[in-house]
Structure 1
Amino acid sequence: MSTYFASLAGGILIGASAVMLLLLNGRIAGISGIVGRLAQRVCLTTNLAFVLGLVLGPLAYLLVFGGWPTVEITAGWPLIILAGLLVGFGSRMGSGCTSGHGVLGLARLSPRSMVAVATFLTAGAVAVAVFRGVGL
């Protein structure tokens, strides 16, 4: 059970922060929207605090668990950059990212978010199947 504690704690913190932002500020905790508003200098204090929390989160993990989680990325930089650009394009095209649609959109039973999350999951499964088949 202890192997799942970090994931459980992370999920609880994500949900709690999303609910607090919605209840206290009336805003959806979609990271792409928050970063976009931060770049446009809209609601600067709230958006900056949220982004700083995202950046400082790993340091809190380090303090609580005494080390970094093991992460192994086997893809090369060109594929990582392409994937990041596609995610950014997709989040703009889909009017939100996985955090906004997946965390709060589904909780609010938003039909648009249900379609968006189904699309994210399907695209991810297809990408894994294609890239594993190609050997990337």
Structure 2
Amino acid sequence: MLPAVPTEFTPIASLAGGVLIGLSAVMVMALFGRIAGIVGITTGAVTAPDRGWRIAFVAGLLTAPVLWILATGTAPQQSVGTNLLAMGAAGLLVGVGTALGSGCTSGHGVCGLARLSPRSLVAVVTFMGFAALTVFVLRYGGL
């Protein structure tokens, strides 16, 4: 069981991050007529005929932490565990979930809800519910 660690309150950074995510979703829709879902973008970077913008999008995701380090002199703060087996299992479950749900948190949660998609609402309620349950089980040892 993990100890409950309070999360730092960062309203300015959180607002800025939300604005940037929203702006990128609007730009992808306006420029390419596509949903800014990370799973679809990364898959399409390998398989889609319009892979140029997708590769640029993924490169931006990978470049952002490097730019942060260059700008601040410190790495972004991480709270990810170091248990490789648990991270591998979590990654597998996320991959299966995105395949079953036909999308990910960015596709359904940001873009789908903004388009008032009922399917995205069901997906978001499902993965947020399971996320809350997972945190509860991991922090407090179960029901």
> What amino acid sits opposite 1:42 in the alignment?
P
Q: Distance in 1 between matches of 2:70 and 2:20?
A: 16
Aligned to 2:4: none
Q: Distance in 2 between matches of 1:76 and 1:31?
A: 24
Taking only aligned residues, the RMSD between alpha carbons, in angstroms, comes to 2.0
Alignment of 1:1-136 (within 5 A): 3-74=10-81, 76-134=83-141
> CA 1:42–1:25 in 2, change beyond 3 Å: closer, same or farther?
same
> What amino acid sits opposite 1:82 in the alignment?
A
Following superposition, the deviation at residue 37 of structure 1 comes to: 1.0
Higher helix share: 1
Q: Which runs of 4+ in 1 moved over 6 A?
A: none
Aligned residue pair count = 134
Following superposition, the deviation at residue 128 of structure 1 comes to: 1.6
User: Sequence identity of aligned pairs in percent?
Assistant: 51
> What amino acid sits opposite 2:84 in the alignment?
W
1:58-110 per-residue CA deviation (whole Å, 9 max, x = no partner) reads 12323444422322333511111100110011001100000000111111111
Question: Which runs of no fewer than 5 residues in structure 1 stay unpaired?
Answer: none
- Which is worse superposed, 66-75 or 119-128? 66-75
Question: Which runs of no fewer than 5 residues in structure 2 stay unpaired?
Answer: 1-8
Q: Distance in 2 between matches of 1:105 and 1:63?
A: 34
Q: Distance in 1 between matches of 2:92 and 2:114?
A: 27
Report the TM-score when normalising by structure 1. Answer: 0.88
> CA 1:3–1:129 in 2, change beyond 3 Å: closer, same or farther?
closer
> CA 1:81–1:22 in 2, change beyond 3 Å: closer, same or farther?
same
